[in-house]
Amino acid sequence: MELKRVVVTGLGALTPLGNDVATTWENAVKGVSGAGPITHFDSSKFKTQFACEVKGFDPAQHFDRKKARQLDLYAMYALVAAGEAIADAGLESEGVDKNRVGVVFAAGIGGLHTFEEEAGYYATHGEEQGPKYNPFFIPKMIADIAAGHISIEYGFRGPNFATVSACASSNNALIDAFNYVRLGMADAIVTGGAEAAVFPAGVGGFNSMKALSTRNDDPQGASRPFSGSRDGFVIGEGAAALVLEELEHAKARGAHIYCEIVGGGMSADAYHITATHPEGLGAKLVMENALRDAGMKPEEIDYINLHGTSTPVGDIGEVKAIKEVFGDHAYKVNLSSTKSMTGHLLGAAGALEAIMGVKAITDGIIPPTINHEEGDNDPEIDYNLNFTFNEAQKRDVKTVLSNTFGFGGHNAAVILKKYEG
C-alpha cells in the first residue's frame, strides 16, 4: 500500500506568549518569557508561586454562559486554538467532506480544575448534604472531551479520540493523526493538545515531587534549560492545534501548505515512573525511530526543538541522546528549548513546539533558549553544541525534529520538512 503525503494546512494557538499563533511566534522570536505570579488562585503558601499562564483570556468572548458552564478551562483553550487552526485551513469551506475530517486531540491531565472543585465541595459538604455533584462533572473532567467538543462544534465525523501520555500526549496525537491521514483513513485531522493545570492540585502535586522551579524572586528567569542553575520546570497552560491534511486533498481545494510532516517515532524508557533515563536511552531510540520512519539520515536535520524542561536530570539525558544519534552533525544542528519562554504546557507541549517548528521552516528563524547566563554551566553538558542561547538565529530551515518525553517513560518525536511540491 502506497502511503499518502501529509501536509500542515492550519495552525492555532492560545499560549502564555499570546492568544493566537502570530503573537505567540512574535514573542518567541523576541525571547519573551511568559512567566509571572500565579493569578488563578492564592499561591502564597505554595513552594512555587509563579507559572506561565494564558493572559487576557475571557471565556465570555468565545462562549455563551450555557456553553461555558459545560466546559473546563482546558476544553475552552482547546476549542479556541482549534477554531483558529480550522479557520486558517479553511476546513469549513464548501466541498469538504466532514465524514472524512477527524479530531485527535490530547491532554495530559484534562479537567483537573473541575475535579478539584467537585471533590473539594464533597469533602467539605458531603457528610451533611450527601453527594451533590454537578451533572457536568464527568463530561467536563475527562481527557477526551476536548476532542468531542471540537467534533460537535464543527460537525467533523471522522476518527475522534484523545491521546494521553503525559507530556508526550500531543506529539502522540500528531503521530496518530499523521498515520490516519497517510493510510487514507481521513482526508484531514484537527490535532494538538490542551492543558489547564495551574491550580492548587497541579502546582501542589508537582511541588511535592520537587519537579517545579522555586525561583519565586525571578519568575521570568526561572525556566533555564541546560543552564547549571536550573532547578525544575515552570508549569504552563494553553492549547495548540494543527490541521494535518492529505497532500492531494489540500492541493485540490487550494489550501495554503505550511510544510510537510514526514515522520513520527515512539519509544519507552522502561526505567522510572517520572525520571527520564539518565543516559537518554529512550530519547535516543525515539529519535532513531522518527528518522527511520521519515527515511532520513541524522545529517539531514537542521533544527531540533528540544524537550528541554529545565530539570536537572532530564536535560542531561536529552543532550547525551542527541550526541549519540547525530554524532558530529550534532554540532551543526540548531537546538533550542522554547519551554524557556512558554513554560511546560504538559499535554499541549508537543503541539505548541510543532508549531514553533513549522514557523521556523516558513520564516527561516530558530527561536532561542532564553535565560542562559555566561558561566552558568553544567559540567555534564557540552556547550560546544548550539543551544541558540538568548537570541533567535536566522537559518534556512528545511527539516525540524521535535522531541517530547512524558512521565511513565513515554517518548514521542515528529519530523517536519519544508514542502517542495
Distance CA(130)–CA(117), nearest Å, equals 16
The SS3 call for residue 190 is strand
259 is catalytic: no
Spatial neighbors of 386 by CB under 8 A, at least 6 apart, are 331, 332, 333, 334, 335
Spatial neighbors of 364 by CB under 8 A, at least 6 apart, are 394, 395, 396, 397
Whole-number Cα distances in Å, 179 to 148, 245, 265: 20, 11, 11
H/E element, 207 = helix 200-208
What DSSP designation does 31 have? T
307 is catalytic: yes
List the grid coordinates of 393. 538565529
What DSSP designation does 390 have? S
Distance CA(106)–CA(114), nearest Å, equals 17
List the grid coordinates of 176. 496518530
List the grid coordinates of 245. 491534511
344 is catalytic: yes
Per the residue annotation, which of 167, 249, 259, 410 is the catalytic one?
Answer: 167
If one counts every other C-beta atom within 10 angstroms of the C-beta of residue 14, the result is 30
Q: If we measure between CA atoms, which residue out of 36, 37, 35, 43 comes closest to residue 200? A: 43
Residue 260: phi and psi, rounded to 5, are -110, 145
CA dihedral 118, 124, 130, 134 (to 10 degrees): -20
Task: Tell me whether strands 410-417 and 259-268 are parallel, antiparallel or unpaired.
Answer: antiparallel
Helices and strands (H, E) in the chain, number of each type: 13, 14
E-only strand ranges, 277-359: 303-305, 334-336
Any idea which residue has 484537527 for its cell?
190
Per the residue annotation, which of 113, 344, 372, 410 is the catalytic one?
Answer: 344
Per the residue annotation, which of 149, 249, 277, 307 is the catalytic one?
Answer: 307
- The long-range contacts involving 173-176, CB below 8 angstroms and separated by at least 24 positions, are 173/104, 173/105, 173/106, 173/350, 173/351, 174/242, 174/244, 174/261, 174/264, 174/350, 174/351, 174/354, 174/412, 174/414, 175/264, 175/265, 175/266, 175/412, 175/414, 176/104
Distance CA(206)–CA(204), nearest Å, equals 6
List residues with catalytic annotation.
Answer: 167, 307, 344
